[in-house]
Structure 1
Amino acid sequence: MPTEIKKKYAYKYVKAITIGHRPDGRPIRKYIRENSRAVFDQKVRYYQTLGARGVQIASKAVTVEQWAWQWYQAYKAPKVGASQRINYETNLKRHILPVIGFMALSAVRPYHLQQLINDARREDGIPLAQGTVRQIIYTLRQLFEQAEINGLIEVTPCRRIENTATSKSSRRALTRDEEALVRRVAARHWAGPWVLLMLDCGLRRGETVPIGKSDLTRDGLLRITSSATYAEGNQAQRKGTKTAAGERLVPVPPELLAQLDRSGRYFFHGQNGKMLTLTHLRRMWSSFHRACDREAGAKLYRNKIIEHAFDPAITPHYLRHTYCTNLRRQGIDLKTAQYLMGHASITTTANIYNHVDEEDIASLQRAVANRANA
């Protein structure tokens, strides 16, 4: 327990109470200074009561950042899974605290939060998708509602906050031009085989990490039985597939099979031979995406891309989506496609199969014209 120090700073009674801890573990302290013993004792009891309730916040002038980490440690970290903890920490560190973390909790108004939502961007400056903004709003509502419940603010400022994001989470296939460009770059880029494993075999990004020569059958099929997660940090942790349906056998094009590195335990690995870290994966995709952008004609200034020619929103998931679309274009039936994709629900596969784009209509028109001229 903190010790009481008398007659310091010209106050008769002074007590330092630990009201929480910063993310790096350093304590946050509240100093209670009074000349009146009765008032002093009343304040001490008040803050100690908050501490006993798990709140441990001492002042209505506490900042959003101070309360955010107290709220997270008391209400979220103990009861949510590792992936959810990462989501909450990302929302706080990347989108919320850099904007309003310095503000006094009681000074935050609805327009501050609405402006935060309106200005939310990815690291590359692209506006966030609706689903991501929805998660940020959810985090804000919980944070401020608990502040209201604990008496730190009179009323939460989160009422009537609108999701102004205009773009939905995109899960489209590459256009034929984009796919052709990706294949050209993959033919010479060091990350090409990794990219083609998603484009030509439909693997999820996490499924490319623990895959290796032991997963190849004698018939040249690839057995998918596990995936990698980074819920605990930068190092990969092996886990089962996303669903039971994720365990499957997929064919591998012979030309891709010849490119896969079978010298170690994994096709793709770090210098130590272990599974790729999250940093490795991000660097691989960043390097490959940049190469595609330059191939497409992006404008550079001092080696920095200042005008994109290759859609900056494209992620590795687009490759898997393209694989599914190509199955449909090849006439593969829906049930077989569901198996190859590892979808638990055939509806998920059908949603991709049902997406007919302008290029499909143009191909149909060319086919009809060819039959007419035959």
Structure 2
Amino acid sequence: MPKQKLTRRPDGRYQKRITLSNGKTRLVYGRTEAELKAAVRSVQAQDEAGLEVGDHTLVGEWAKIWLRSYKQGLRPATTKMYRDAYNLHIMQHIGCMELQEVRPVHIRAIMAEITEQSESLQHKVLITVRQIMQTAQANHLIRDDPTDGIRITTHARPKQKKYLTQDEAEELLSSIAEPRAKVFCALCYYCGLRKEEALGLQWRDVGPAALVVSRAVTFAGGNQPDPSMELKNAASHRLVPVPAKLRAILDATPRLGEHVVTKADGGVMTQSAYKKMWAYYVAGVSLLPVHAHMLRHSYATCLYHAGVDLRTAQQLLGHASIEMTARIYTHLEAEDGLKVSGKLDDYFNSAPPAADSTAGTA
């Protein structure tokens, strides 16, 4: 087959017409013969990979499609997390770039800018840009995923206390005088409710021996509660027994409104009202740094020490997977194992000295 002659355009560029796998033809250009050959190879590689040849979709355009098409039905807080990750940390770097132009170096630039930020924030940004790129790859808009191999930067930090001991929790509850703050903490500790679940609990959900978790108060849109009051997942809908100590606190709590934990005026809790209540009436009287999730984690440790089996603990905690509950139990088992070392030391130290085995008879 004779070599195809290259055509020179009036502007000095070379051009070549190639046929794609779908039968369509495409003109490719280059300022030099070498540049034209490279452009031809690039187009042919895209065609062989099943990509839309010559697609110029911008990252910002695809991000909107991704959020609309792949993230429907999420909780408002989760949707806000994705939006914030893109708008605050990704868009400024690659939002105006074509998807096919994005390379690992661009993703590394995004992550380098937040390397000093928390591991949690880094993870949110990385999973956002990774999902944007992976869905673009699945739709044949890009050949390779530029986020492949990218990792967050971990930080060395002191080990933080994850839960309160039984004595610490009881001391905290006894020191809280404000009824709303007290019943809130009691719901998290004695029933293992998440913060949003405790705020979403209504008096009609509380029975003589158990309470029903069926709604949550979240603040994804800002200060006001999200009207949907959706729970985190299907497993969050659950029935939880009410211990006697919680029953006593519930009975002593004034019914200011429909919800058990309300604003001071009886209305549904807002973000600012919750922060004020926690700062003044909980953190302000606690001898230890404490946050609401620590109380829920403390409830999980109570289940473990009370001998509650793993499957039942999963149901009571509202975990979507048993693996999450198992991680807590495994950690507590490891802590119990470390406590054995002191007992072993006491045992070995109390043993009588052994006879000298080198001594013998003549």
- Does TM-score exceed 0.5, indicating one fold? yes
Rounded to whole Å, the distance in 2 between the matches of 1:288 and 1:136 is 37
Task: Summarize the Cα distance change of 1:281–1:161 in structure 2 as closer, same or farther, 3 Å threshold.
Answer: farther
Q: Is the 8 A contact 1:88 1:139 kept in 2?
A: no
Is 2:258 the counterpart of 1:265? Answer: yes
User: Mapping of 1:268-283 within 5 angstroms?
Assistant: 268-270=261-263, 273-281=266-274
Which of the numbers 210, 215, 227 marks the counterpart of 1:227?
215
Shift of 1:323: 0.9
Shift of 1:223: 1.2
Is 2:236 the counterpart of 1:242? Answer: no
Task: Summarize the Cα distance change of 1:140–1:115 in structure 2 as closer, same or farther, 3 Å threshold.
Answer: farther
Q: Is the 8 A contact 2:197 2:217 kept in 1?
A: no
| Map of 1:204 onto structure 2 | 194
Q: Is the 8 A contact 2:111 2:126 kept in 1?
A: no
Question: After the TM superposition, which of the residue ranges 333-342 and 360-369 deviates more from structure 2?
Answer: 360-369
Shift of 1:96: 2.2
| Map of 1:132 onto structure 2 | 124
Is 2:205 the counterpart of 1:215? Answer: yes
| Map of 1:174 onto structure 2 | 163
- Residue 240 of structure 2: SS of its match in structure 1? strand
Which of the numbers 128, 132, 146 marks the counterpart of 1:158?
146
Q: Is the 8 A contact 2:62 2:136 kept in 1?
A: no
Give the unaligned 5+ runs of structure 2. 1-55, 351-362
Larger radius of gyration: 2
Q: Which amino acid aligns with 1:71?
A: W
Paired residues in the alignment total: 279
In the superposition, the TM-score normalised over structure 1's length comes to 0.56
Task: Summarize the Cα distance change of 1:156–1:238 in structure 2 as closer, same or farther, 3 Å threshold.
Answer: same
Shift of 1:111: 3.0
Task: Summarize the Cα distance change of 1:141–1:182 in structure 2 as closer, same or farther, 3 Å threshold.
Answer: farther
In the superposition, the TM-score normalised over structure 2's length comes to 0.58
Task: Summarize the Cα distance change of 1:336–1:364 in structure 2 as closer, same or farther, 3 Å threshold.
Answer: farther
**What whole-Å deviation, never above 9, does each CA across 1:289-325 have from its counterpart, x for those lacking one?**
8648x845xxxxxxxxxxxxx4xxx753333222111
- Residue 249 of structure 1: SS of its match in structure 2? strand
**What whole-Å deviation, never above 9, does each CA across 1:238-268 have from its counterpart, x for those lacking one?**
3467325732132232453355342321111
Q: Which protein is richer in strand relative to its size?
A: 1
Is 2:129 the counterpart of 1:141? Answer: no
| Map of 1:120 onto structure 2 | 114
Quick one: percent identity of the two aligned structures?
Answer: 21
Rounded to whole Å, the distance in 2 between the matches of 1:119 and 1:259 is 51
**What whole-Å deviation, never above 9, does each CA across 1:46-104 have from its counterpart, x for those lacking one?**
xxxxxxxxxxxxxx8x9x8xx62x4344442255224353232121133324x537x85
Shift of 1:340: 2.6
Q: Is the 8 A contact 2:187 2:193 kept in 1?
A: yes
| Map of 1:318 onto structure 2 | 294
- CA RMSD after TM alignment: 4.7
Rounded to whole Å, the distance in 2 between the matches of 1:288 and 1:165 is 36
